[in-house]
Amino acid sequence: MMTHAISDGFGHISQRRWERFQRNKLAMASTVILCLLITTALTAPLTETWLGLDANSVDLKSRLQGPSLDHPLGTDDLGRDIFIRLSYGGQISLAVALFATLFSTVIGTAVGLLAGYSGGHLDSMLMRFTDGIISLPLLPLLIVLVALDLSKLGISEASTQSENIALYRIIFVIALFGWTTVARLVRAETLALKNQAFVLAAEALGASAPRIVSYHILPNIFSTIIVATTLSVGNIILLESVLSFLGMGIQPPTASWGNMLTGSQDLMWSSPQLAIWPGMMIFFTVISFNFFGDGLQEALDPKAS
């Protein structure tokens, strides 16, 4: 009976949150856009086979063509299909954003929980370290780290020549410095919760610190973590695009939205579509993640009526 009542209670809360999310039209529209973008990126190999095209195949006879049945968005300066390359570029940009966000969220949550629950000198030390990371000029620092010669760091020559090494490097570097916002939010929530009656009762009953953090504090700040994570995805996509645009990120012929913008610089006036399409992908993805995060924040707010 009690289990059934608790289940009904959680179901009612979830239903109310979903209804609040649905009322946010921008958040719902952003959800649809993000689903379309992710589906397009994931089905890029199938689309490539269906259209009988190759994302990296050069065909100078077909360069700079307009939209057609064979090439839905036209071709670039090397005769490659723009739509297929945008789809593969979406795989790279979204993969960097999602994995870098995941890793930075894990780091930030661990630091915030440790600082907030422990308090004292450990809290001060971790927060001063976080403040130091925040004060660093992020973009110049990322450019320097991405430009480092990996072979001089003891990494084997075979690994440095790998196709995916640029992808792994960008994910690692962004995650290394992208956790600070989550850490500060989690710490603030933890400080507020650790003096609540249910946490004090658990301590009085002899529960260990890891158990209190895992079973009592973390579930209560999970919605905050989700919202912070969602809102940071857009910023990470912009960082990856900027690094690729500057030639420090994903290297051609592998497509990313940033390096597609780089390739369009010399032809921006004669063939503006080369810059418009990847620019639109970046714009719609970033703004959709931001509106989606705002919608989640509204829906998960416990104070919302």
Q: Look up the CATH number of the domain holding residue 295.
A: 1.10.3720.10
Q: What are phi and psi of 81, to 5 degrees?
A: -70, 125
Single-letter code of the amino acid located at 74: G
Is position 64 within any domain? no
Question: pLDDT-derived band of residue 116, with 50, 70 and 90 as boundaries?
Answer: confident
Both tokens of residue 219? Answer: 């579930």
Find the mean pLDDT for residues 67-85: 82
Q: Do 261 and 241 meet the contact criterion of CB atoms below 8 Å apart?
A: yes
Question: pLDDT-derived band of residue 3, with 50, 70 and 90 as boundaries?
Answer: very low
Domain that holds residue 132: 23-55+70-300
Is position 8 within any domain? no
Residue 4 is predicted with a pLDDT of: 43
Q: What are phi and psi of 269, to 5 degrees?
A: -85, -40
Is position 15 within any domain? no
Find the mean pLDDT for residues 204-212: 81
Residue 160 is predicted with a pLDDT of: 62
pTM score: 0.77
Residue 6 is predicted with a pLDDT of: 36
Question: pLDDT-derived band of residue 286, with 50, 70 and 90 as boundaries?
Answer: confident
Is position 184 within any domain? yes
Residue 149 is predicted with a pLDDT of: 66
Residue 5 is predicted with a pLDDT of: 38
Q: Which residue has the higher pLDDT, 156 or 128?
A: 128
Output the CA torsion sign for 174, 175, 176, 182.
positive
Residue 238 predicted with pLDDT over 60: yes
Residue 2 is predicted with a pLDDT of: 35
Is position 14 within any domain? no
Residue 263 predicted with pLDDT over 50: yes
Is position 90 within any domain? yes
Residue 79 predicted with pLDDT over 50: yes
Residue 115 is predicted with a pLDDT of: 87
Is position 108 within any domain? yes
User: Please, what is the average pLDDT of the chain?
Assistant: 79
**Cα-trace Rg, the chain:** 23
Residue 155 is predicted with a pLDDT of: 67
Find the mean pLDDT for residues 94-117: 88
Total of domains in the chain:
1
Q: Report angle CA 223, 32, 53 to the nearest 5 degrees.
A: 125
Question: pLDDT-derived band of residue 8, with 50, 70 and 90 as boundaries?
Answer: very low
Residue 157 is predicted with a pLDDT of: 63
Exposed/middle/buried for residue 217 (C-beta within 10 Å: 0-12, 13-18, 19+): buried
Is position 173 within any domain? yes
Residue 205 is predicted with a pLDDT of: 80
Residue 156 is predicted with a pLDDT of: 64
Question: pLDDT-derived band of residue 152, with 50, 70 and 90 as boundaries?
Answer: low
Residue 302 is predicted with a pLDDT of: 55
Q: 27-55 pLDDT, tens per residue?
A: 888 889 989 988 988 888 888 888 777 77
Residue 280 is predicted with a pLDDT of: 87
Distance CA(190)–CA(97), nearest Å, equals 26
Residue 11 is predicted with a pLDDT of: 52
Residue 159 is predicted with a pLDDT of: 60
